[in-house]
Structure 1
Amino acid sequence: MTLPEPLFDYEACLLACARGEQQALVALYAQESARLLGVAKRIARDSALAEDIVHDAFIKIWMRAASFDPGRGSARGWIFSLTRHLALNCRRDTRLEIQVSESSELALQPLATLDGRHQTQDPLQWPDGCERIYGCLEQLDPARRSCIVHAYVDGYTHAEIANKLDTPLGTVKAWIKRSLSALRECMG
C-alpha cells in the first residue's frame, strides 16, 4: 500500500521565495517545471523557445514572489498565469511583422478597440467611436473582413490566416492589401 503524496503548499513556497529562500524555488521548480513546460510548448509551438520561457518564468517567480496576493487567486494559478503570459508575449513578439504605411495605420487605429470584443459580446458595450470602422468593415466581403480582423485584432500571421481559412497564402496577402486600401478610402 502506497501512501498518498503530500499536498504541495504553493503559497508557502512563494512566501519563502519572497523571503529569499532559494530552496523554495528549487522545490517549486521540481514540482511544476514539467507542467509549465507543457503549457509553454502548447503556446510557443517550439520546444527550445518553451524552455527559455519556463526559465524566464522562474526568474520572474523569484523576483515577483512578494507581489503574489492570495486574495486574488491561488498561488499555483499565479505561477501558471505568469508563465502563460510570458509565452503569449513571446509568441506575439516573434511573429512575422507586417509593414503598414502611416496612412493605413491611422485607418486601422479604431481596430485596436475591437480587442474589447473578447471581453464582451454585447455591441452596446463596445467602445465609443467605433461605428465608422464597423461601417467600413461591413462593406468588405466577409472573407476579406475576416482576414483583417484575424490579422489586426487576433494577431495572426498571414500564414496562420491562410491555414485557418483554408485559402492560399498569396490570396490572403492580396485580400489584406486590398482591404487595407478599401478601409483607408472609406475612413478617408
Structure 2
Amino acid sequence: MPIKPDPMVWRTLLSSCIVHKNIELGELAAKNLLDLEPEDSASYVLLSNMYAVSRRWNYRDQTREMMKNRGVRKEPGRSWIEVMNKIHAFFVGDEIYEYLEELNNRAADIGYVQDHNSLLNETEMEQKDPTLYVHSEKLAVTFALLSLPDGIPIRVMKNLRVCSDCHNWIKFISRISNREIVVRDAYRFHHFENGNCSCKDFW
C-alpha cells in the first residue's frame, strides 16, 4: 500500500479473514489492530469470532480472557428505528418474540437456517438461552414490519457490526415481506431488497 494501514484497514482485513477462515493473516491483522487500538472492544470480538468459526476454542477463550484482563468491555448491541416521528431503541432481550417467531418460520420455509452455532462450542450451545440469539436489529426490523404501512422502506441504525446470521436473516425478510430494508451498522450501509444486499455479502 502507498500509505500506512490505519485501524479501519486492519479491521476490514480481520473481518475478511473470519469469512475466509484465514487464521494466519487474521492473527497478523489482529496484532496490528490491537497495537493501534488496545482499548477497542471490537478488535477482541473479531479475533475471538475468527477463532470460534475455526473451532479453535482455546484461542477464543484466551482472547476473551485477554480482553477481560485488560479491562476492555464489549459495548452492548442496540438498534434504533424511527416510526411515526418517534425514535425506538432495541436491545437484546426486548419482547417482540411472537411475531419474530412467525417471521423466522416464514424465512425457514424459503431456506433460512439460523447460524447460532458458529461462535459457541457444544457445551455452550446446550446452556445458551435461545432468546439471546436474537440481536437488536432483528427486533427493530420486526417492530417496523408491525408498525409501518406496506411499501415504506425500513431504516435501522446499529451501533455494532451486523453479524452474519442477522445479515442473512434480513435478506430473507426483505424477500418474504417485499420490503426494502436499510441497515446502517458501525461500518457501512446495507441495502436489502428482494433477498439481496448491496454489499454482496462482503462487509
TM-score bin, normalised by smaller chain: under 0.3
- The two structures have a TM-score, normalised by structure 2, of 0.23
Identify, as 1 or 2, the structure richer in strand: 2
Identify, as 1 or 2, the structure richer in helix: 1
- The two structures have a TM-score, normalised by structure 1, of 0.24
Largest Rg, 1 or 2: 1
